[in-house]
Amino acid sequence: MSDLPRSQHIIASGVIAAVGASVAYISFTQEPAAAFVFPRLISSVFVVLALWTFVKAILGRTKVGAGLSRAEMRNLLPGLLITLVYAFWAAKALGFYTATTIAFFILFTLYDPAPNNEARTWIKRVLITAGFMVVMYGLFAILLNVFTPREIFS
């Protein structure tokens, strides 16, 4: 398989830079300002990195590689679909922490190579998911004091 054409990399990185700029613009124009401090920080870093990649693509200074094969894309598709459902529906409908717990557990189960017919595997997945959510709650609710979508049970 040969390397991706340069134009394909320029277009892809340009689209990502445009999405990043849109997200940054939205985060800087929303109120109340205190609710958007963290999104503004993250989106600003995202825009800088995306623009850097775009400029490198235009100048031809990136090592692009061969892209994704059909088999690799087929392996990524279930995770991409779950992520899209999470981002565009579940986080708002179920609340951030509930939806994140469900999405993380499903993604972990899909991509964990451990056998699904062992109780030990399922216990490990539940414990890792719980640990992940404790870290997420500590980061967003306690440390950063970020507003998240309301929970379904609140």
- Pick the last residue of a domain from 13, 34, 67: 67
- Pick the last residue of a domain from 22, 50, 67: 67
What is the pLDDT at residue 83? 92
Query: Which tens digit of pLDDT belongs to each residue from 99-129?
Result: 999 999 999 999 999 999 999 999 999 999 9
Residues 63 and 106 in one domain: no
Among residues 77, 78, 103, 80, the alpha carbon closest in space to that of 90 is found at: 103
Residues 60 and 93 in one domain: no
- Between these two residues, 31 and 90, which has the higher pLDDT value? 90
Residues 144 and 85 in one domain: yes
Residue 153 lies in a domain: no
Residues 91 and 56 in one domain: no
List Cβ neighbours of 152 (8 Å cut-off, separation of 6 or more): 93, 94, 95, 98
List Cβ neighbours of 53 (8 Å cut-off, separation of 6 or more): 13, 16, 17, 62
Q: Please identify which residue in the block is written with the tokens 């693509």.
A: 57
What is the pLDDT at residue 4? 64
Q: For residue 84, what are the domain limits? A: 70-148
- Computed from CA positions of residues 7, 13, 19, 20, in that sequence, does the dihedral angle turn out positive or negative? negative
Q: With a threshold of 0.75, does the pTM exceed it?
A: no
Total of domains in the chain: 2
pLDDT grade for 152, boundaries at 50, 70 and 90: low
- Between these two residues, 62 and 87, which has the higher pLDDT value? 87
Q: In the predicted model, what is the mean pLDDT of residues 1-24? A: 82
Most confident of 8-22, 48-62, 103-117: 103-117
pLDDT grade for 153, boundaries at 50, 70 and 90: low
How many residues comprise the chain? 154
Residue 154 lies in a domain: no
